[in-house]
């Protein structure tokens, strides 16, 4: 929970700087690139989370991977490394994207599923979330096989968990409480 709050604080600070420098779109492109790169590479995720890998090594690796990003994005990486929070890079980037979309009057619906969403299902999600929020919505699909089935829908601070893993967890809790 504390990491999420910290990620939001970092994302808000980066967004404020980007707004002041009229660079929100460029920084958002960088953040989307970071999220995609990190989610596509298990090795990168492991390196960022590893307490064994020194901060300077992480910084050099990230600067090499994300060469040519906007100065604000580069500064964010340096700040996270200096504050020993680089493991939160993906979370900060996601929060930045969400905050920037909200600033533009749009919402990002993050749908976590065990398998990729079909175009038809994605359209249904778009319609439902747009009715709920009253804003223009974009859908981002995250694949997480550990939820077994169903979905987890997150829009801003709201989350609806209809995953099989969550239902199994609830059943387990009910059984242990009734014994």
Q: What is the pLDDT of residues 5-15, one digit of tens each?
A: 899 999 999 99
Q: DSSP class of residue 70?
A: -
Model confidence at 69, in pLDDT bands (50, 70, 90)? very high
Model confidence at 92, in pLDDT bands (50, 70, 90)? very high
* Alpha-helical regions (H) of 66-160: 71-82, 89-103, 119-133
pTM for the whole structure: 0.67
- Give the pLDDT score at 159: 86
- The mean per-residue pLDDT over the stretch 32-56 comes to 90
- Give the pLDDT score at 21: 94
- The mean per-residue pLDDT over the stretch 116-127 comes to 89
- In three-state secondary structure terms, 68 is coil
Distances (CA, A) of 16 to 70, 82, 95, 111: 15, 20, 13, 27
| Domains of the chain (ranges, CATH numbers) | 2-100 (1.10.520.20), 106-178 (no CATH)
């Amino acid at each position: 929970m504390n990491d999420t709050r910290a990620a939001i604080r970092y994302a808000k600070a980066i967004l404020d700087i980007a707004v002041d420098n009229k660079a929100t779109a460029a920084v958002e492109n960088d953040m989307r690139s970071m999220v995609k790169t990190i989610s596509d590479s298990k090795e990168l995720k492991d390196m960022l989370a590893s307490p064994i890998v020194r901060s300077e090594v992480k910084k050099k690796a990230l600067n090499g991977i994300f060469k040519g990003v906007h100065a604000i994005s580069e500064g964010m990486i340096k700040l996270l490394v200096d504050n020993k929070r680089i493991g939160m890079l993906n979370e900060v980037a996601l929060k930045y994207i969400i905050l920037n979309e909200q600033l533009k009057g749009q919402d990002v619906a993050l749908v976590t599923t065990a398998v990729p969403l079909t175009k038809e299902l994605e359209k249904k999600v778009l319609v439902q979330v747009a009715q709920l929020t009253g804003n223009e919505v974009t859908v981002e699909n995250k694949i997480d096989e550990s939820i077994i089935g169903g979905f987890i829908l997150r829009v801003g601070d709201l989350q609806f968990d209809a995953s099989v893993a969550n239902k199994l967890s609830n059943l387990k809790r009910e059984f242990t409480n009734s014994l």
